[in-house]
Each structure stands twice: as C-alpha cells, then as structure tokens.
C-alpha cells in the first residue's frame, strides 16, 4: 500500500512539473507562459493577442511532446523536441524584449498603468531595474498604488531602516540594567 502511494505521489509530481529533457531551455519557456498570457490584458498588447494565443498553444504542444520524449515513448525524436524548444525560445525572447521596451517607454511616457503591469509581470529583471523602478515610483507616489514588486521593495526598505535603529542589548548591558533596578528597590 505504501509503495503504491509513493509511486502515485512520484508520478503526479512528475506530471505537475516540466519535462526534464532539455530543461535548461524548456523551463524558461514553461515558467514564463503565465506572464506572457497576462500581457493580453494590457491595452498595449491587444494587437499581439493572436500571436500570444498561438504561442500558448505551441508551448502546450511542446510540453506534451516533451513528456512523451521523457517517458521514452518517442525517444528517437529528441532532436525534434530540441528544435521546437529553440523556436519557442526565440518567441519567448521576443516577448521579453517587448516587455523591456514597454517598461522603458512607460517611464518615458509616464504611463503608470503599463509601468505597474510590466513591473509585476515578472518578464523584466526587477533586480537589475530596481533603481529605475523605485525612482519612477518615488516621482509618482500619488498616482501609483504600490503593489507587488514595489510594495516588496518598500517593505524591504522599511525593515532595513528599523533594523539599523534597533540594536539588541548585550548580556553585559542587560546585567547592568538588572543591577540598577535592584539598587533602586
């Protein structure tokens, strides 16, 4: 019974993840799919809606194909799977470039809605762009609702600020305070 349960757990954990074959290429594609899907909600990306839908379908097919190759059902087709991943990587990189371009243009045109959506989309490198993000936010605090990445940065700054002010007392200081309290009693 336990072996069956472990086998089922292992089987479902494999199905929920991405294919292991060529995972260096595939994981980037599969992990970005939700972020790319969310671009359809933005007005700036309405004209790319069909391209996004086609890409999502192609990624789903490639993922299914990858699981077939991983199970060994179609092991002779590894190179075909690799070729498909390379094509999808080019399209994935296109969406990453457009997201970075939209991020820069949202700052130039002061488009707050696009700025927030792109920053929270996880398609741009927020660590690299942290200074630009916070500079823009600080210049437009009244117009922007801090959420997601920006709220995380604000919380991080608050924690650092208050951590520096608070220094825990040493054992010696605590012992001296006890002695002073005892002397006043």
Tell me what pLDDT residue 16 has: 54
pLDDT tens for 48-107 read 999 999 999 999 999 999 998 888 866 578 888 999 999 999 999 999 999 999 999 999
Q: What is the mean pLDDT of the chain?
A: 82
- Domain borders along the chain are 19-110
Q: The pTM is what?
A: 0.72
Most confident stretch, 29-33, 157-161, 176-180:
29-33
Tell me what pLDDT residue 183 has: 64
Nearest to 99 by CA among 79, 76, 120: 120
Helix/strand/coil percent split, the chain, to 5: 80, 0, 20
Tell me what pLDDT residue 21 has: 83
Q: Residue 11's CB: how many other CB atoms inside 10 A? A: 10
* Whether the Cβ atoms of residue 56 and residue 36 lie closer than 8 Å to each other: yes
**Percent of the chain having pLDDT more than 90?**
37
Please compute the mean of the pLDDT values over residues 13-23 and round it to a whole number.
72
How far apart CA 49 and CA 38 sit, in angstroms, is 10
Nearest to 30 by CA among 45, 15, 19: 19
């Amino acid at each position: 019974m336990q072996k069956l349960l472990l086998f089922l757990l292992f089987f479902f954990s494999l199905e929920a993840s991405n294919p292991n074959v060529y995972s260096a290429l595939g994981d980037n594609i599969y992990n970005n799919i939700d972020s790319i899907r969310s671009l359809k909600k933005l007005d700036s990306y309405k004209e790319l809606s069909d391209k996004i839908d086609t890409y999502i379908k192609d990624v789903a097919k490639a993922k299914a194909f990858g699981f077939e190759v991983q199970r060994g059902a179609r092991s002779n087709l590894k190179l075909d799977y690799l070729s498909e991943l390379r094509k999808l990587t080019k399209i994935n990189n296109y969406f990453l470039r457009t997201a970075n371009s939209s991020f820069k243009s949202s700052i130039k045109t002061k488009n707050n809605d696009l700025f927030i959506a792109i920053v929270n989309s996880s398609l741009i490198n927020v660590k690299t762009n942290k200074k630009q993000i916070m500079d823009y936010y600080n210049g437009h605090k009244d117009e922007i609702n801090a959420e997601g990445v920006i709220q995380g940065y604000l919380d991080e700054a608050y924690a650092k600020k208050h951590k520096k002010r608070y220094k825990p007392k040493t054992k010696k200081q605590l012992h001296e305070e006890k002695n002073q309290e005892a002397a006043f009693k």
